[in-house]
Amino acid sequence: MSAEEFLKGLWKENPVFVAVLGMCPALAVTNSAINALAMGLATTFVLVSSSLLVSLFRNIIPKQVRITAYIVIIATFVTVVDFLLAAYTPVVHKELGAFIALIVVNCLILGRQEAFASKNRAGLALADALGMSFGFTFALLCIGVIREVLGNGSLFGIGVFGEGYEPWVIMILPPGGFFALGFLLLAFNGVTERRKNKAKLKDLN
Amino acid sequence: MENLIWIFVSALLVNNFTLSYFLGLCPFLGVTSRLETAFRLGLANIFVMVITAICSYALNTWVLPYAPYLRLITFIIVIASSVQFVEMAVKKLSPELFKALGIFLPLITTNCAILGLALFATNKGYGFVEGIVYALGAGGGVTLALALLASIREETRLMDIPDLVKGTALNLIIAGIISMAFMGFAGLFSAT
């Protein structure tokens, strides 16, 4: 049961590729794989901790002010992450800049609180949050890797193509974010479509 | 004065919130199927952004020096509640304006562009007037991006597009091309 909640976030209900949630960070900070990973992990921390807290307090929080309560909880954890990153990894913190603070308004996080954590017990909420955030991190990494490899000829800062490669600078600039995600979505749609067709074919046979 | 114009044009074109900071993408992809709605959403955005600029200036001056760790929480709560108050006031004072902005006002409050505006203005250390000009520029930029995407999407409706590409994937690629065009504006200021 929990495993199912965990797995759905990775592929079937992947927050970026299927639900198209949390787009701002998915595009803004993915100009290198390391930034994408840092953003994914920061979001993971916030989503998991706030889901846990919301799930534990789900019977205490009054219905009328629940959204405000969720936002306050989320904002608290984002502040924690912000200060943690600033203290331990100042370089990454500087690169991500205001986008760490903007995790507060990531619709993915508020969406999971409203749709799942507020209705389920802590164990399930934890599984759901972990699955969703790993799905999110995975998607961010995909975009980050594509953009860094094409735009800079490197992966996690290590060159992959050698000297002769002329980087596609556009990929690490803002338009590259739109293109990378656009084509990834195309690929994702293609794979899903083919699976569906195969299943149909099996049914026919 | 020159400084103010610079702030305005930079937020409007060069550092466009939607196309180069990727802020407010949810409405950008969600509500741009019709030009009319997109334009209204843009107007509501400008409106909320100006209120945000005023609120964040007030918070930065009077509250946050004493409790810097409360920055995020106070920004979110104060902005959301003041937009609610202003919404009520607008409803009472100018029903036409309220009708034009409609449902978008409360939705926009939780848009990342709004919090982004407050944070960027704080990081850049803008004063009161600068903050408002920055908000006008940023809001105008968002409106421009929304209107552009909506117009292109209206045109694509009658085209023969493969099912696979339809929807978000196509919108993102269109957005990428618009964003590429906007990069040309970066040259505006390199001469000065």
Residue A134, classified by CB atoms within 10 Å of its CB into exposed (0-12), middle (13-18) or buried (19+), is middle
User: What value does the mean pLDDT take over residues B45-52?
Assistant: 86
**Interatomic CA distance for residues A156 and A158, integer angstroms:** 6
Cβ contact A98:B119 at 8 Å: yes
Which are the contacts of B166, defined by CB distance < 8 A and separation ≥ 6? none
| CB pair distance less than 8 Å for B164 and A181 | no
Tell me the two tokens of residue B125: 């250390």
For A146-205, how does the pLDDT look when each residue is reduced to its tens digit (9 = 90+)? 888 888 887 877 777 777 777 888 888 888 888 988 888 888 888 888 888 888 888 887
Interface test with B, best of A16, A17, A20, A107 (most B CBs within 10 A): A20
pLDDT score, position B110: 66
The residue count of chain B comes to: 192
Q: Give the count of Cβ contacts less than 8 A between chain A and B.
A: 107
Interface test with B, best of A113, A185, A191 (most B CBs within 10 A): A185
Average pLDDT, chain B: 83
Nearest chain A residue to B163 by CA: give it. A189
pLDDT score, position B77: 83
pLDDT score, position A1: 52
Which are the contacts of A64, defined by CB distance < 8 A and separation ≥ 6? none
**Interatomic CA distance for residues B61 and B22, integer angstroms:** 28
- Look at residue B126 and give its three-state secondary structure: coil
**Interatomic CA distance for residues B131 and B10, integer angstroms:** 13
As a whole-number percent, the residues of chain A with pLDDT over 90 amount to 16
**Interatomic CA distance for residues B48 and B92, integer angstroms:** 17
Nearest chain A residue to B169 by CA: give it. A182
Nearest CA distance, B183 vs chain A (angstrom): 8
Residue at B6: amino acid letter: W
Residue at B86: amino acid letter: V
**Interatomic CA distance for residues A97 and A99, integer angstroms:** 5
For A115-140, how does the pLDDT look when each residue is reduced to its tens digit (9 = 90+)? 888 888 888 889 889 999 999 999 89
Interface test with B, best of A23, A66, A147 (most B CBs within 10 A): A23
- Which domain range does residue A64 map to? 2-204
Which are the contacts of A201, defined by CB distance < 8 A and separation ≥ 6? none
**Interatomic CA distance for residues A49 and A132, integer angstroms:** 13
Q: List residues bridging with A159 in a β-sheet.
A: A154
Nearest chain B residue to A191 by CA: give it. B164
Nearest CA distance, B27 vs chain A (angstrom): 11
| Among the listed residues A37, A36, A19, the one whose alpha carbon sits nearest the alpha carbon of residue A28 | A36
Q: Is B31 on the interface with A (CB under 8 A)?
A: no
**Interatomic CA distance for residues A123 and A113, integer angstroms:** 14
**Interatomic CA distance for residues A18 and B30, integer angstroms:** 14
Q: Output the DSSP codes for A98-162.
A: HHHHGGGG-HHHHHHIIIIITTS-HHHHHHHHHHHHHHHHHHHHHHHHHHHHHHHSEETTEESS-
Nearest CA distance, B166 vs chain A (angstrom): 9
pLDDT score, position A49: 94
Picking from A107, A110, A174, the nearest residue to B19 by CB comes out as A174
User: What value does the mean pLDDT take over residues B111-125?
Assistant: 85
pLDDT score, position A44: 93
Q: Work out how many domains chain A is built from and give that number.
A: 1
Interface of B with A in 53-72 (CB under 8 A): 69, 71-72
Average pLDDT, chain A: 85
Whether residue B191 has pLDDT greater than 50:
no
**Interatomic CA distance for residues B138 and B48, integer angstroms:** 11
User: What value does the mean pLDDT take over residues B119-135?
Assistant: 87
Rg (CA), chain B: 17
For B73-115, how does the pLDDT look when each residue is reduced to its tens digit (9 = 90+)? 888 888 878 777 777 888 888 787 777 766 666 667 667 888 8
- The whole-model pTM stands at 0.83
Tell me the two tokens of residue A188: 């994702």
Q: Output the DSSP codes for A16-55.
A: TTTS---HHHHHHTTTSHHHHHHHHHHHHHHHHHHHHHHH
Task: Compare A205 and A89 and report the one with higher pLDDT.
Answer: A89
Other C-beta atoms lying within 10 Å of the C-beta of residue B5: 11
Which residues in chain A are closer than 8 Å to B186, comparing Cβ atoms? Answer: none
For residues B153-182, one letter each, b for 16 or more C-beta atoms within 10 angstroms of the residue's C-beta and e for the rest, the string is beeeeeeeeeeeeeebbbbbbbbbebbbeb
Other C-beta atoms lying within 10 Å of the C-beta of residue B95: 10
**Interatomic CA distance for residues A22 and A32, integer angstroms:** 18
Nearest CA distance, B95 vs chain A (angstrom): 27
For A65-79, how does the pLDDT look when each residue is reduced to its tens digit (9 = 90+)? 888 888 889 999 999
**Interatomic CA distance for residues A43 and A59, integer angstroms:** 25
Nearest chain B residue to A30 by CA: give it. B22
**Interatomic CA distance for residues A25 and A39, integer angstroms:** 8
| CB pair distance less than 8 Å for B169 and A183 | yes
